[in-house]
């Protein structure tokens, strides 16, 4: 049985649980996720942080159900962390005791710095690499900040600003200016920080990003690694802060979030206003992934190996049986790229995406051989989620979709144009992948041909017949000013 680990996160607003399965040394997938909006801190902030009886009972019921789910997956261990709401609660011992005594669940209350660090290692390891970014995780009771530079994390700060907290202390009494003053005062702790990007973690940032994506008719349905810009984001926050419930609905905010979105938007607005950096990145991962990664990567300083991508590995682990062929295809596509990319006018930077597309393009055949292209396409779109930009994901999934087929359709190219390379580059890359597959039609143990580029001709030489390869190459779309010639 593969190693399975469950993570439970008790936040002020909701409790969440994830069951992860390790697919190899540094790769994993989610088996199950569950969330319950129990709002453990309900009415606590007006009562000196004291957790209320009903809220505690709801939370215990949800946790009890979580444990049944975890046991149904036979998880090897359960890591349960609690944050701000429990940190602040004078009666936390009572709750911890009940969880331990009645449910057998050991809850670890983590301090604000640790909470910030854990969210940040999720971002540092699972988002495309950033030079100097500030992560911000707005929770129900607190907000965490860290500086992420490449894979390094510093300045972990936790402020007692949170959506539920501000709602109960200020917004419920319509004292918005009081909230603003408190936020600005607390944010002074972030003075003298120099950053170029803001990474947004947590439900508030995700909800606003989602609304913004819909508003922009963004072609992908993926929040993680979504990139937006100061001006549009900031304008959107202003709209949210000015809207009544009807207005929020029109902006695309779900009704369950109506009562906490404004406090969250206000915190964000003040942060953006303070830093005015142009680039914003949405994170789909946070504390829970951080808790899991801190466990998974405990012997490697909370980092993946260099040049390692965990999503590529996971897809290979779960869906590619024939790894020799996958590697051979990737190797050949890189060789073909290296000798042709100048002639074909393809930017050198796309070499990596071509190689990954070659590695993963057969992954869909684990679903259905004949429709493997569409399954590879959807699988890559969804599961190639960590460490890649949306442009990279779109290019790689597009190449897989059209592998060994005609060039990407104009409908497809039109839909994703803001994320794809130029048409000529895309067709060139698509051709190189299809050509690699065609040349390996007979699946030789070792590549049994050589090739050479001269002017318009790529000449392929072999002592074998390459019968199927020739037949397959004949069926390819042709590229202008580029011919394949077999000599033997």
Residues that bind its own copies (CB under 8 A): 29-34, 36-37, 58, 61-62, 64-65, 68-69, 71-73, 318-319, 321-322, 324-325, 365-371, 374-375, 378-379, 382-383, 441-445, 465, 467-468, 471
Query: Which lies closer to its own copies via its Cβ, residue 270 or residue 375?
Result: 375
Question: Rounded to the nearest whole angstrom, what is the least distance from the CB of residue 117 to its own copies in the complex?
Answer: 25
The nearest distance, CB 35 to its own copies, in angstroms, is 9
Q: How far is the CB of 366 from its own copies (least distance, A)?
A: 7
Q: Which lies closer to its own copies via its Cβ, residue 270 or residue 359? A: 359
Considering the complex, state which of residue 34 and residue 259 has its C-beta at the smaller distance from its own copies.
34
Q: How far is the CB of 460 from its own copies (least distance, A)?
A: 15
Which residue is it, tokens 């990596």? Answer: 352
Of the two residues 188 and 463, which places its CB atom closer to its own copies in the complex? 463
**Which of 65, 279 has the CB closer to its own copies?**
65
Nearer to its own copies, 278 or 382 (CB): 382
Shortest Å, Cβ 469 to its own copies:
8
Nearer to its own copies, 46 or 371 (CB): 371
Give the shortest CB-448-to-its own copies separation in angstroms: 9
For tokens 């504390």, the residue is 287
Q: Which residue has the tokens 């003040």?
A: 270
Give the residue with the Cβ less far from its own copies, 36 or 91: 36
Residue 376 CB, nearest distance to its own copies (Å)? 10
Nearest-approach distance from CB 445 to its own copies, in angstroms: 7
Distance, CA of 348 to CA of 22 (rounded, Å): 34
């Amino acid at each position: 049985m593969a190693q399975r680990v469950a993570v439970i996160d008790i936040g002020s607003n909701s409790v969440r649980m994830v069951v992860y399965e390790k697919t190899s040394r540094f790769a994993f997938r989610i088996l199950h996720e569950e969330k319950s909006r129990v709002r453990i801190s309900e009415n606590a902030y007006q009562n000196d942080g004291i957790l209320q009886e009903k809220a505690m009972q709801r939370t215990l019921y949800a946790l009890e159900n979580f444990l049944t789910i975890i046991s149904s997956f036979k998880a090897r261990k359960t890591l349960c962390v609690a944050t701000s709401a429990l940190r602040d609660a004078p009666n936390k011992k009572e709750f911890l005791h009940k969880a331990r005594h009645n449910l057998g669940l050991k809850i670890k209350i983590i301090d604000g710095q640790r909470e910030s660090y854990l969210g940040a290692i999720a971002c540092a390891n699972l988002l495309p690499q950033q030079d100097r970014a500030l992560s911000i995780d707005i929770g129900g009771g607190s907000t965490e900040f860290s500086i992420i530079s490449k894979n390094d994390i510093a300045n972990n700060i936790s402020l007692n600003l949170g959506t539920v907290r501000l709602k109960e202390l200020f917004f419920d009494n319509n004292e918005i200016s009081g909230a603003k003053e408190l936020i600005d005062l607390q944010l002074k702790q972030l003075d003298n920080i120099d950053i170029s990007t803001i990474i947004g973690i947590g439900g508030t940032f995700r909800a606003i990003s989602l609304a913004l994506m819909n508003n922009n008719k963004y072609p992908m349905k993926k929040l993680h690694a979504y990139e937006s810009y100061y001006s549009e984001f900031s304008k959107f926050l202003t709209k949210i802060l000015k809207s009544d419930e009807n207005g929020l609905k029109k902006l695309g905010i779900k009704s369950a979030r109506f009562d906490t979105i404004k406090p969250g938007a206000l915190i964000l607005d003040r942060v953006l206003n303070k830093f005015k950096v142009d680039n914003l990145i949405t994170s789909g991962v946070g504390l829970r992934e951080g808790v899991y990664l801190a466990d998974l990567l405990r012997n490697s300083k909370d980092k993946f190996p260099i040049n390692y991508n965990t999503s590529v590995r996971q897809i290979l682990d779960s869906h590619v049986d024939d790894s020799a062929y996958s590697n051979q295809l990737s190797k050949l596509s890189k060789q073909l790229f290296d000798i042709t990319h100048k002639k074909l006018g393809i930017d050198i930077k796309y070499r990596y995406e071509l190689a990954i597309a070659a590695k993963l393009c057969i992954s869909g055949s684990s679903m259905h051989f004949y429709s493997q292209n569409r399954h590879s396409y959807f699988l890559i779109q969804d599961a190639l989620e960590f460490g890649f930009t949306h442009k990279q994901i779109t290019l790689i999934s597009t190449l897989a979709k059209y592998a060994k087929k005609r060039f990407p359709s104009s409908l497809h190219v039109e839909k994703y144009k803001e994320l794809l390379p130029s048409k000529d580059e895309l067709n060139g890359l698509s051709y190189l992948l299809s050509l690699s597959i065609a040349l390996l039609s007979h699946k030789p143990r070792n590549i049994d041909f050589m090739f050479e580029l001269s002017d318009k001709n790529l000449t392929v030489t072999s002592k074998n017949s390459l019968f199927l390869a020739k037949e397959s190459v004949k069926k390819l779309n042709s590229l202008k000013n580029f011919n394949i010639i077999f000599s033997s």
